[in-house]
Structure 1
Amino acid sequence: MPEGLIVKALSGYYYVRPDGQQMTEVVQCRARGIFKKRGESPLVGDRVLFSMTDNGEGTVEEIKPRSSSLIRPPIANVGLVLLTFSVLEPDFNLQLLDKFLVHIEHAGLEVVIVLTKWDLLEDAAKQDEVEASAALYRSIGYPVVITSSKQKSGYEALFELLSHEISVFAGQSGVGKSSLLNTMIPGAMLETNMISHRLGRGKHTTRHVELLELPRGGYIADTPGFSQLDFLELGVEQLSDCFREFKALSEQCKFRGCTHTHEPGCQVKEALEAGDIAASRYEHYALFLEEMKEKKRRY
């Protein structure tokens, strides 16, 4: 039975690229009914076994074990997340960046922070502010790549980090993910939309998940942008572990299950007071903690 990779899912069909075939040679498949009975569903990124039908289409027969799976966007076997934010239009939003990082850390995935539209940032003070933020996240352990699609800068550094079979873009809408992909993959001809200045955010230019083949091998998924995330799938006690610089300190706190808010002997609070933890990161942690508690009370 042939094996392949699901490169696109749309309207109940799964488009499978058979192993050893060109990207353009895909088989349009339906999934066996047994998956629905089990409450399972094939995802883009799944490696599958499939059979051919008499009409030239195929049927997904088996889903191979996954190394990872995401709910939003619905995709499997992702090795790297390119967390994409613009430095301007919309403005660089550190609170939203930290919220995405929490979800990515919770999923156990590697991440690279990609900053776009550097060419739009002409104010020197703003440039210094963005570079200081980039330095902060690098010090925590996150690679940061600053790019400009107009100047075609930052791409070589980005390509060097794309060593996984499947990488995925995530981030706020309107930050230029599609423009970035158009530059990275000549001929991709992805739809791009102008920023809505009235709303201050971009339109959702991507409507389904699809794997795009990179020139140097591997795939990247252009996924629907989204500007809000919730914490319903994350436990309150798990939040501090999703802040990398908190994790090791948490183990040294006086009380087990320390929330790092009011407890005596809290190593995270001591590190904050000593300037070893950025105030913005702690403020966002406290904000997310309250948001999670409020959601738990409501549900």
Structure 2
Amino acid sequence: MAEGRIIKALSGFYYVENEDGIFQCRGRGNFRKRKITPLVGDRVTFEAENATDGYVLEVHDRKNKLVRPPIANVEQAVLVFSAQEPDFSPHLLDKFLVHVEANDIEPVICLSKIDLLDEETEEALAEVETLYRNAGYEVLSTSIYVDETIELLRPYLRERVSVFAGQSGVGKSSLLNALKPELNLETNQISKSLGRGKHTTRHVELIPVDTGYVADTPGFSSLDFQGVSPETLALCFPEMRERSEDCRFRQCTHINEPSCAVKESLNEGEIAPSRYKHYVQFMQEIQNQKRRY
């Protein structure tokens, strides 16, 4: 028996990599009965007589697991959001940020396609950068046509397992092609009528980039708040998390309670109104979701 990491899952096969190479494996026969589904990123025990005939025998404990995209043991999420085509969506970005924060994954915000900006939209983008840096996030602005911006991204990927995530058409595959041209990943233009891209990535796969791994994932445009409760939502907003201890009530929701440190910071301009607005919207969505179940 040997140990390795699943780097690709496709058509019922799991491709497991270790120091001896890559082995095509199937899942153990009783996995379905035990409700075990191996994921890309899983550390596993496997056995293989040759490179194309192996079996995954055991899935090791996971640090975390994402549902969309289905991947495990991610250390960092590079959230790719285009400055234009499709238009930047702060609401969707904040939803992504909550999703990765809830799974104990370190986020990096990557604003793509800055070459499409004019003077007015450049100013708007600068405000976005400032807003999210003040909230405690790393923010990078990139263009596949400007090598220096791609090189800014590279150090974040070294020695880490990262996932590139974002809605369709924002340029995730194009960024990976810029980082590693030999990948030659399929890309498509944005649909002018729909305002979004086609899903050019159809499966999850860990791709070696420098000394790390990057998962290019299928694009998607919505997320459910799985694993996030009304009590833990504020913990997924760094600027609220650090102020929550100063609230009068321990279980403060930062909406209707008096002597709320978060609302005081909001009134003093220390918390962005857009972030707080999305927090309230997400709270309502989680509470409605809870009532349905």
Q: TM-score, normalised by structure 2?
A: 0.95
Instruction: Find the aligned partners of 2:46 and 2:287 in 1 and give their Cα distance.
Output: 45
Alignment of 1:19-38 (within 5 A): 19-21=19-21, 26-38=22-34
Instruction: Find the aligned partners of 2:239 and 2:189 in 1 and give their Cα distance.
Output: 37
What runs of 5+ residues in structure 2 fail to find an aligned partner? none
Question: C-alpha deviations, 1:181-234, integer Å up to 9, x for none?
Answer: 1111111111111111111111111111011111x2111000011101122432
Q: CA deviation at 1:55?
A: 9.1
2:212 corresponding residue in structure 1: 218
Question: C-alpha deviations, 1:50-90, integer Å up to 9, x for none?
Answer: 21247951111222332222221111111111011000001
- 1:74 and 2:84 correspond: no
- Which letter does structure 2 place at the counterpart of 1:97? L
- 1:237 and 2:237 correspond: no
Instruction: Choose the corresponding residue for 1:183, options 163, 166, 178.
Output: 178
Question: C-alpha deviations, 1:100-158, integer Å up to 9, x for none?
Answer: 10111100111110010010112x12111111111221122211111101223412111
Contact 1:232–1:295 (CA under 8 A) maintained in structure 2: no
Distance 1:133 1:27, change over 3 A: same
- Which letter does structure 2 place at the counterpart of 1:84? V
Moved more, 29-38 or 78-87: 29-38
Instruction: Find the aligned partners of 2:229 and 2:60 in 1 and give their Cα distance.
Output: 29
2:105 corresponding residue in structure 1: 109
Distance 1:54 1:263, change over 3 A: closer
- 1:292 and 2:286 correspond: yes
Moved more, 239-248 or 11-20: 11-20
1:11 corresponding residue in structure 2: 11
Distance 1:246 1:150, change over 3 A: same
1:274 corresponding residue in structure 2: 268
Alignment of 1:245-284 (within 5 A): 245-284=239-278
Taking only the aligned residue pairs, the percentage that are identical comes to 54
Contact 2:159–2:211 (CA under 8 A) maintained in structure 1: no
Q: CA deviation at 1:2?
A: 2.5
- Which letter does structure 2 place at the counterpart of 1:32? R
Contact 1:80–1:164 (CA under 8 A) maintained in structure 2: no
Alignment of 1:187-202 (within 5 A): 187-202=182-197
Instruction: Find the aligned partners of 1:80 and 1:58 in 2 and give their Cα distance.
Output: 30
**Partner of 1:225: helix, strand, or coil?**
coil
- Which letter does structure 1 place at the counterpart of 2:19? D
1:44 corresponding residue in structure 2: 40
Instruction: Find the aligned partners of 1:295 and 1:74 in 2 and give their Cα distance.
Output: 21
Instruction: Find the aligned partners of 1:159 and 1:56 in 2 and give their Cα distance.
Output: 33
Instruction: Find the aligned partners of 2:60 and 2:225 in 1 and give their Cα distance.
Output: 29
What runs of 5+ residues in structure 1 fail to find an aligned partner? none
Contact 2:102–2:227 (CA under 8 A) maintained in structure 1: no
1:134 corresponding residue in structure 2: 129
Contact 1:50–1:61 (CA under 8 A) maintained in structure 2: yes
- Which letter does structure 1 place at the counterpart of 2:183? A
Q: CA deviation at 1:279?
A: 0.8
2:138 corresponding residue in structure 1: 143
- Which letter does structure 2 place at the counterpart of 1:103? H
Distance 1:54 1:266, change over 3 A: closer
Instruction: Choose the corresponding residue for 2:94, options 98, 101, 107.
Output: 98
Q: CA deviation at 1:245?
A: 0.5
Q: CA deviation at 1:295?
A: 2.2
- 1:204 and 2:199 correspond: yes
CA RMSD between the two structures: 1.6
Q: TM-score, normalised by structure 1?
A: 0.93
Instruction: Find the aligned partners of 1:267 and 1:19 in 2 and give their Cα distance.
Output: 51
Instruction: Find the aligned partners of 1:37 and 1:90 in 2 and give their Cα distance.
Output: 43
Q: CA deviation at 1:7?
A: 1.1
- Which letter does structure 1 place at the counterpart of 2:256? H
- Which letter does structure 2 place at the counterpart of 1:264? P
